[in-house]
Amino acid sequence: MLKYNKPQLREKLSEKSEKLVSDLIQSIVGQIRIFEGKKNENPGAIYGISRCLRMLHEHFEADFTKEAKNYLDDLQHPDELANKDRLTIREVYNLSRKIDKSNRKLYVEHTDGGIKELAISLLKYYGELKGNKEDINKVKEFIQNNTYFIIKHKELNKDINERFSIKDL
């Protein structure tokens, strides 16, 4: 695997994307507060936070495994996305649509427990919240520090799944 850089929120977002990211984080904070961190009694809490996280992660850039990067290089695809070192999940999906279906090999894999584990961790974070505007920054930072996914080759990186840990790479 190439040197791994943790997924990060893209630095330059459009105005609409900035607003969406802000709204999603605010929604997650609201759900944590409403459900008071009670994940076992409210499976809808995990689902709701997970949906927001999936939408939010579309604005995070991630690295490729060596195999995925080689596959993309070998394709010599004319799209400018194919020449970038890091892509957002949305960019991976857009690029995949431009590749012939029989040859689509890129896959975004959430690791270190996946989205569900991150949602549960966020619900457990309820005790850290103070009920003020600073909670939004705390939750945003928590999400950024605990988000792990990578762009992998579907066939050559089968060992990378949500139980795989890339925290220490």
Q: What is the pLDDT of residues 102-161, one digit of tens each?
A: 889 999 999 999 999 999 999 999 989 888 889 999 999 999 999 999 999 999 999 999
Compute the distance between CA of residue 46 and CA of residue 49 in angstroms, rounded to an integer: 5
* 3-state helix/strand/coil string of 9-37: ECCCCCHHHHHHHHHHHHHHHHHHHHHCC
- Among 8-17, 29-38, 81-90, 138-147, the range scoring the smallest mean pLDDT is 81-90
Residue 128: other Cβ atoms inside 10 A: 12
The ranges assigned to domains in the chain are 13-153
- Among 12-21, 40-49, 127-136, the range scoring the smallest mean pLDDT is 40-49
Residue 93 phi, psi (nearest 5): -65, -45
pLDDT band of residue 169 (cuts 50, 70, 90) is low
Compute the distance between CA of residue 14 and CA of residue 123 in angstroms, rounded to an integer: 29
> How open is the CA angle 52-151-161, to the nearest 5 degrees?
80
Q: Closest by alpha carbon to 57, among 88, 16, 29, 86?
A: 88
Q: Give residue 155's pLDDT.
A: 94
Q: What is the mean pLDDT of the chain?
A: 88
- Residue position matching structure tokens 């020449």: 83
Q: Is 19 exposed, middle or buried (0-12, 13-18, 19+ CB in 10 A)?
A: exposed
Residue % of the chain over a pLDDT of 90:
56
- Residue position matching structure tokens 């005790």: 127
Q: Give residue 168's pLDDT.
A: 66
Compute the distance between CA of residue 159 and CA of residue 169 in angstroms, rounded to an integer: 15
pTM above 0.85, yes or no: yes
Buried b (16+ CB within 10 A) or exposed e, 31-51: bbeebebebeebeebbebbbb
- The better pLDDT of the pair 169, 11 is held by 11
Does 1 score more than 60 pLDDT?
Answer: no
Q: Give residue 29's pLDDT.
A: 95
Q: Checking phi first, is residue 80 left (phi over 0); if not, alpha (psi -120 to 50) or beta? A: alpha
